[in-house]
Structures are given as C-alpha cells and as structure tokens.
Structure 1
C-alpha cells in the first residue's frame, strides 16, 4: 500500500480542525467519541492524509462550537479538499507525489533547498533536464512532458508575489559533467540569471569543507503563511514529506550548518562564472 500524502488543501483543513480541537481543550479520543469515528480516522483527518466528507466536517465543527467565520472557512476547504491540484488539472498522467510537491511549491511563501550533486528541477535548463530524465530511461514523450512541467514550475519565481528561494548547492553540482559542455554552460548561466537579491539566493557549499549533515542527501523545507513547515526528502524509488516539528527542526539546524559553510552569494556567483569560463 502506498504512503498517504497530505495535500496542501487537506493539510490546511486538518490543521484548522486540530487548532479548533486544541482551543476547546478536547483530546483526540474524546472528540472522536463525540462524533462517532475511530481515533485513527480523526488523526488522519487532522494530519491531512485523509479528507473527511463535508457532513463529517459539519459534525466536527458543531461539536467544537467553531465561530461562524472560521466555520465558513473550514467548510470551504472541505468542499475543495479533494479537487485536483494545479498540475493534475493542466497535465494528464502525473503522479500524486509530483502533483503534491508542485502544489507545495506553488503555495509556499519560502523554500529552502539543499542539492549536493545536481541543479534542482525548479532551476533546470531544458537540455540539462533532458539529460537527467533520459538517464532514468524514460520514453521520449514522457521526457518532453517532464521538461515542460519543469519550465512551467519556474513561474513561482516570477509571479507578483514570488516564492522566496534559498538554494544551497554543492560544488559537485557545478562541476559534474551531466551533459556536454555547452549544455552545462547554459545551465550555469541560468543559475546566474535566476539569482535575485531579494527573492532567490544561490549559495555554493565548497567540496573541501569536510563532513556536514547535508552529505546525508537532498532536502527541501517549505514554509507557509498559515501552516506549519514541511520537509521533503527524496530517494531513488520514491519520496516522503515530514510534518513532525522535531523533524523539521533537525533539517532547519542542518540548513544553519550549510549556511555557515557556504560561500556568500557574491562569491558563489563568481565561482559559477569561473566554471562557465572553463566550459566555453
């Protein structure tokens, strides 16, 4: 059985329900008993890994005596909790994991991204992305679709209220010859263009700094205006989202270590330009 993923909408609903329960001083089991559901089911609703029906939300709001304004907001969330995300509406055949990730990307206010070995998908140039996708032995139509998705995702950096991106990039990502020199140079020039002082910070962690927590692998921290932060981690056969506060704090601490070790933004851009010159 696949792991359930909390989508942004279902998670917002669950967080609102949990906040209302805590405000009333009710335990999870006590509230579950009042509305006649299993505690495990209510726990899934509050975490967002399952979405309750509209009538079930109504029962919960009644039991919790939620004020009219907040009641209306949560009922509205309940109505759309199962609606397709942006990517599901615009592209057919995408996986739930990718759709959820992209929706977190679109709804976050800030994103901290550590990538030790490759440029992340959000900032991949077409040729660079194509080489990575081909290495996964995807059929040509799927490669074309995935490249198009990555290009569209970049809109979050140029919209009216842009996503604030803090990217920490391992020096390995600049120097590994994933593609031919011309394609690598194109990719690195895109990084230079993407670096914007107030919205997109790109800092390189040198290869000679010794051991640090980032060597355990890639991670992303999503921060939201009205929801707790989420950590995304990825491996060869899948990915996971971490919602527990202690887990998020551990990755936040790893980010602070990376910040201490990384070159400044200006030094990072100078290093990227130096690598570009070596490729040309």
Structure 2
C-alpha cells in the first residue's frame, strides 16, 4: 500500500516557515546545516516545505545549531507537539508572532480570495489610508505601534508579485467610508482603480442595491497553495485570529465567496462605481 502523503496543517506550515527563517537568519545553507547535524539534506528540505514533521531529536538539533533562545524554543516545541491538529486559534497577546504567520502564508500562497466589508484590503491600501485605518480602529494603540503596523503592511505589499493572483470582493460601504478624510480617500480610490486594471488582480464591488448578502457576517481571506490541494481560511477579529483548514470549513467559505462574486458588479462595472465615487469626493 502506498504511503499516505502528509497534508500540512496550519501549524506544520508555520513550523516549516519558522525553521526556514531561523536557518536564513543564521546565515547557513541547507548543506551546512546537514553537515552540522548529520541530517540528510533531502530530509531538511522536506521539513522546510512542510512535507515532513521533524522528529524530536532532529528538531532539537536544529534549534541548537540555530542558537534559538530558551523562551523561543518552548514556543516552537509547543507548535511541534500539535503540528497535526486541524484549526488554529490565536490570541492577539502575541501579535508580532501571529502577524508573521499570516505574512508567511501570504508569501507562499499562489492565489488569495479576499472579501472585505469595512476596509480596503491591507494588500491594496495606500500608506496614508493604512495609517488612518489602523489608528482609527485601535484608538488606544501607541503612535509607535501604529507606524510599525503601517511599515509591515507596506512590506507585505512589496513581497506580493506575479504569478500570485488576488481576487477581491468589496461591499460598497468600503468605497463610501471616508477613512482619513476626503484627501486620503481620493488617493486610495485612485490606487484601487489602478489596481483593478492589473492582470494579476480582480476587484468587484457589491452595490448597496443588492441588499442583504452572505458577506454581511464578516470579512475573510482564502489562501490557496500550489504544492497541493490545500487551502486556509483566515478570519481576523478584535481579540482573536482564526485559521480554518478543515475541508468543510474551506468549502463553506469558497461557496460564500462564489456567491459574493455572483452578486457583485462585474470588474468593468466596478471600475465605473469606483470612478463615480472618486469624482463625487469633495
């Protein structure tokens, strides 16, 4: 009987990403790590692309070679122990870590399907809009933390490039809410209009005239990967971030996204809506 292929969970993907980044930060090639640990280079490659879960001794050897601090070792070991569990709920007490996880998954994804009901998606935001959106939605956040989030958002955009594609559906409220005021909103709508013309991007808007629609329950992102038939749904809230990966959950959100696309204006009509809103801003 053929060996069943490992399907990476969110935790295993996260662990693979972390180990790959630790090696790169240590300035070591796979060959150097293999020589230092006695590990087969092919095995190290499979671990770093989430095709294999590292064994305990191998894992500890890697952390030793990378000189990982004790506190960080405990965090990574906890991820290793639960690497095959489906679903991942994260509290925002550890925001840099969970935000890094999303950025890592975005970088690996070949296609992203994003529905937003309140804001322009982070990957399409101008710097000024991002600053106003972050500060406005988190009024107790320090100016330093706001700037840190803005920088991270701009870096996320810089990382994204073809062949990765992005399909976005927005509620019309996103166009009408003047985040940061008219000047910033005009800049943002012009950016959105330009992005909608890109070949690697599709933008559609659900007009108010549609009435109630499935997206009114909240925003979400579906990340699709090239290496296998595996998808992750990302949900963001004020107190928790949730990564869903069970086939049932992914199927429900894919169906929801398909319905939203059906109810939204065509990409051409969407450009007309954006242009109309832009011309109406005083």
User: Residues of 2 paired with 1:152 and 1:244: CA distance?
Assistant: 30
TM-score (norm: length of structure 2) = 0.69
CA distance in 2, matches of 1:190, 1:23: 43
Q: Which position in structure 1 is the counterpart of 2:152?
A: 149
- Contact 2:10–2:245 (CA<8 Å) still a contact in 1? no
Is 1:97 aligned to residue 119 of structure 2?
no
User: Which consecutive residues of structure 1, in runs of 5 or more, have no partner in the other structure?
Assistant: 1-19, 25-44, 55-67, 85-92
Structure 1 segment 1-280 matched on structure 2, within 5 A: 21-22=3-4, 47=9, 49=11, 71=43, 73-77=45-49, 78=54, 95-135=96-136, 136-137=138-139, 138-157=141-160, 159=161, 161-227=162-228, 228-280=230-282
The offset of 1:95, in angstroms, is 1.6
TM-score normalised to structure 1 length: 0.69
The runs of at least 4 aligned residues of structure 1 exceeding 4 Å deviation read 68-72, 75-84
Q: CA deviation at 1:212?
A: 2.0
In structure 2, the partner of 1:31 is: none
Superposition deviation, residue 192 in structure 1: 1.1
Query: C-alpha displacement at 1:224, in angstroms?
Result: 0.4
Q: Which has the higher contact order (CA 8 A, sep 6+)?
A: 2
SS in 1 for 2:233: strand
SS at match of 2:209: coil
Deviation at 1:94, TM superposition (A): 5.6
CA RMSD, aligned part only? 3.0
Unaligned runs of 5+ in 2: 20-39, 69-93
User: Once the two structures are superposed, what CA deviation does each residue of 1:186-205 show, in whole Å capped at 9, x if it has no partner?
Assistant: 11111112124420101101
Instruction: Report the Cα offset of residue 133 of structure 1.
Output: 1.6
Q: Write the distance in 2 (CA, Å) between the matches of 1:132 and 1:72.
A: 41
For the residues of structure 1 that align with 2:191 and 2:8, how far apart are their CA atoms?
41
Q: Is the 8 A contact 2:10 2:232 kept in 1?
A: no
Aligned equivalents of 1:120 and 1:23: distance in 2? Answer: 34
Distance in structure 1 (CA, Å) of the matches to 2:196 and 2:251? 26
Q: Write the distance in 2 (CA, Å) between the matches of 1:131 and 1:145.
A: 13
Per-residue Cα deviation, 1:105-133 (whole angstroms, up to 9, x for no partner): 11100000000111111111112111122
CA shift digits 1:224-257 (9 cap, x unpaired)? 0014010001111121000101110100000110
1:69 offset after TM fit, Å?
9.7
Distance 1:111 1:212 in 2: 21
